[in-house]
Structure 1
């Protein structure tokens, strides 16, 4: 089967956002304007499966009620309460153990049952799974997101929260987690766990790193 060609333009190239405002014009490449009805219906049908509709409704309620008032920690707790989640799994990086401890303390103070599984659980050597030996220079034990997910699954957590798992490790955790998962902290060792900082400075301090020697003015056009 021949692979379908993907339009070179996508939502990041749109300047109207008519999908939200409904009083503007869709660009020609807009996925909403070119949407197949079968795709729309497929997505709507998925919201009828399991607890997906309840999750969507609850998410919208939390967004509305806490809009520009609640921190993400507060939003997670309110979301958990609304979906009846009592046991909260924490999949955390060992480098953010202090943040995980603080979060667990907050959860306990608010009536939840936190259960953390750290990324280095089992202490498996990196080389034992084929990771190059040089990678052990920053630590011999591999991160084990699949085992983190399995242990939290066996604990029957109602909701899982990721705190600082590495890029890719978080992907594996999401894949194998039985419970719905949200993220509290996204790791970025350079920016103090604020990865959006590089986006805000992409046209200034980080311009050469991301775009080489391209003229910044041309990039801004």
Structure 2
């Protein structure tokens, strides 16, 4: 049997906690089919002697939400062995989004994460409304890595409350409207919800980002949505 690819003689760190060992890795198509002593030849072979061979790394906290659209190779993450990235951290996402909130979300990403607003505004098409539409947009860019995302509190609040999202508590009706958006996002592919309680995360005018001081009732309602959709990640940055 001939494999598509055999990586030979590397030091394998397999991610299970087992001690590193020297061996080979055989790949057919997109699947690893053998690890250890591979006797079969490969159509292509890589001599990994003196190198470490590992599963791809998962970067569980990124702010590549815009960059991934114009840089599908997701540099420099892929240059360091990252094969899966999590978007939507710290409550800062670009969906759901009404047209009048685009600059607010882009400006907030700049002040929170120092990613230039002009690059975000010009680099994204902004042709989505709901979170699922945003995921479809990212998929069309054909990123070189696996992509998973959280729907962010800031975008959810702006969508329902407008400028009141920054300073005011949400009414019961608004909490339910936001909960529906979270539900829509999770059903469309988000793996959970993120929010920030860090007062240092601020919008361009210096006020804390939307959701920083939201009520316990609001956050618990969103946690219920994540739970009821089969579980997932409820991220609170403190």
**The two structures share one fold, judged by TM-score above 0.5:** no
Structure number having the greater strand percentage:
2
Higher relative contact order (CA 8 A, sep 6+): 2
Q: What is the TM-score normalised by the length of structure 2? A: 0.28
